[in-house]
Structure 1
Amino acid sequence: MTYLLVFLIAAVPGFEVLVAVPLGILRGIPPVLAVIIGFAGNAATILLEIIVFKKLKEWWESKKKKDVSMPSKRTVRAENIWRHYGIPGLSLLGPILIGSHLATFLALALGSTKKQTAFWMLISLAVWAIIFGILSVLGVDIFSWMRQKFI
C-alpha cells in the first residue's frame, strides 16, 4: 500500500518527487526503491501531459480568456527561465521553482517539441528524485531550506 501511495503522491502536481521520495523513505521503503517509484509516478503524469498537450492548451487558453488578470508569479518565473536557459533550464529548475507539471506545459506552450520536453523532463525528474532521496537518507530538511529561500 505504501508503494502505491508514493506513486500516487508523485503523480500529483505540487507534490511530485519532491514530496513522494522523502515520504516513501520515511515510511520505510528502501531509498533506491522510493526514488524509482517516485520517479515513475511523476514521469507517468508528465508523459500523459505531453501526449494530451493539445487539449490542455485549448483548456488553458479558454481559461485565460475568462481570467484577464496578470499572469501568476510562477508563470512569469517560468517564462524568464525559458528565455535565459531554454528547455534544459526550465526542465531542471522547473520542478523546484514552479512544479514539473507547469514546467512541462509551459515548455510545450513556449515552443519546445514533445520529444525535447519529454527527454529533458525525464532527465530532470531522475536528477531531482535522486537528490531528494540522498537528502532524505542524510536527514536534510530540504523543505525548511526551500521555504526560506523561495517563499
Structure 2
Amino acid sequence: MYLDYFLVFLGAAIPWLELGLVIPLGIISGMNPVAVIIVGFVGNMVTVLALIIGYDKFKLWLTKRNEGKEKKESKRSVRAKELWNKYGLPGMLMLGPILIGTHVAAFIAMTLGASKVKTMLWSTISISAWAIIFGVVTSLGFDFFVRE
C-alpha cells in the first residue's frame, strides 16, 4: 500500500508526468482520493521548490553545458513566453500545469526575471488548485461511471 503512494509521490515529482496524469491514475486504481491529492501535491512541490531554490546553480550549470552550442527554443519555451506576455507570472503559473508543466513554468518564470518568493507563492497556489481539481474531477467522474 505504501508503495502505491510512493509511486504517486515519485510520479508527481517527475516533470512531464506530474499531477494531471498521476492523480487520476492513483484515484482510478482505487487509492484514497484525499491521500492521492496530498501526496501528489507534495511530490510535485518538492521538485518545483528545489528547482526554484537551486535556480542560480542550475542556470550556471546549463550555461556552461551549452557554451558554444546553437540554442533553439523549444515549443514549450515559446508557449511559456506567450503565457508570460499575456497573463504575467500568476497566469503563467496557474496555466502551467495543464499547458507546459509546473517545472517548465517555474523555470521559465525565473528565467524571465520573476522573484523566487513570488514564483514559490504562485507555484504553491497553482499546484494545490490543480491537484484538487484533478482529484475532485476524477473522483466525481469515476464515481459517475461506477454507479449503478
**Normalization by structure 2: what TM-score?**
0.88
Structure 2 residue runs of 5 or longer lacking an equivalent are: 143-148
More relative contact order, 1 or 2 (CA 8 Å, 6+ apart): 2
- State the 4+ residue runs in structure 1 displaced beyond 4 angstroms: none
Structure 1 residue runs of 5 or longer lacking an equivalent are: 141-151
Query: Equivalences for 1:18-97 in 2 at 5 Å?
Result: 18-97=20-99
Q: Secondary structure at the match of 1:139?
A: helix
Aligned with 1:10 (options 9, 12, 24): 12
Q: Deviations over 1:41-90 (max 9, x none)?
A: 00011111111111111233334445424311110110111111111011
2:120 corresponds to: 118
Q: Which has the larger radius of gyration?
A: 2
2: CA distance, partners of 1:62 / 1:127: 36
**Normalization by structure 1: what TM-score?**
0.86
2: CA distance, partners of 1:82 / 1:64: 24
Report the Cα offset of residue 100 of structure 1.
Answer: 0.6
Q: Deviations over 1:84-118 (max 9, x none)?
A: 11110110011111111111111011111100000
AA aligned to 2:13 is A
Q: Deviations over 1:28-53 (max 9, x none)?
A: 22111111110000001111111111
2: CA distance, partners of 1:55 / 1:22: 34
AA aligned to 1:116 is K
Sequence identity percentage? 46
2: CA distance, partners of 1:22 / 1:100: 17
1: CA distance, partners of 2:134 / 2:20: 6
